[in-house]
Amino acid sequence: MSRGANKPTSAAPVVLPSARLVLPVRPRRLRATAAIREMVAETALAPAQLIQPLFVTGGAVNEPVASLPGVSRLPLAALGAHCRRLAALGIRGVALFPKIDPALKTADGREALNPETLVLRATREIKAAAGDALLVFNDIALDPYTTHGHDGVLSARGGDDVDNDATVAVLAEMAVLNAAAGADFVAPSDMMDGRVAAIRAALDAAGHERAGIMAYSAKFASCYYGPFREAVGAGGGGGATGGAISKAGYQLAPGNRREALREACLDEQEGADIVMVKPAGPYLDIIRDVRERAGVPVAAYQVSGEYAQIHAAAERGWLDLRRTRDEALLAIRRAGADLILTYFAEAWARDYA
């Protein structure tokens, strides 16, 4: 064997092309400048597509919500000025959620049918201050009013079983009271069977045929609702410790895609003017499914847990708050949401005013 026979041979030198690539299609041409990127953007977001959730308290001062940075429960006296500011930013809707005095809570949630309950007084305050410039979407469910924290009346079977038909009767009456107070849309978030049809019939019979229904159609039994339950003082069901109650008997299982579409289609057939998917970010595929089938506008709720986790990561320096917020909202729009309920609404509209 000759000397050097086991030495590796040298690799062939890399020869770079001497001329530019001949590419008739260069997609980067449409990304070359900010002006081009803005002109050809496929998805856009505007303040009028955002709905700001508002928490209302019967107290006299703002009450910050610890798990929702920048969010406070607002007293009645502050609602008018706050809502005028939202309208001036181009936001066209607010969704109201009351924090009820625990002394007023009962097992059957009867405070929801009090003509002077907190959310009805808040509705009248907002409509007097902002008029038609700001639409009011009122939650129709019993969880803020019940001692057990469920969205309806418990059945005689006990445990976490909610009596569907008895609950629907209460919700229909509740919806009429909210429409009479000036709510532009009632928003049943309970997930009871048949409640949209019952509410539509009750509204029409009471002369509120102009009041719309935004149905929480595909509302999942999600762990992302914890900060919201703190904000309204509703017990159990998915907070930081998991909650003491289960709403799986009426909210959707997170893995069920076909069932979500079925619920949305049923709500549209029963008379819903807008159907909703909740939460939004973890369920972009559901938003797209519903958008492709629904003949009415599709709303998506970027829920409290989605908002809180973006803030938490930003506080630790792991994410840029504004850029992460904007990307998350744009993704929800891209998936097919016509409207987005988000706690970021005011801040986003102010940044882009």
Q: Can you point out the beta strands (E) in the chain?
A: 50-57, 63-64, 72-75, 93-99, 135-140, 185-188, 212-219, 274-278, 298-302, 339-342
Q: How far apart are CA 118 and CA 101, in angstroms?
A: 9
For residues 272 and 278, the answer to whether their CB atoms sit within 8 Å is no
- Known catalytic residue: 99? no
Of 99, 105, 127, 219, which one is the catalytic site residue? 219
> Maximum Cα–Cα distance for the chain, whole Å?
105
Q: Is 7 a catalytic residue?
A: no
Contact 270, 201 (CB under 8 A): no
Q: Report how far residue 238's alpha carbon sits from residue 150's, in angstroms, rounded to the nearest whole number.
A: 12
Question: Residue 342's beta-bridge partner residues?
Answer: 302
Alpha-carbon distance of 265 to 292, in angstroms, equals 11
The catalytic residues are 219, 278
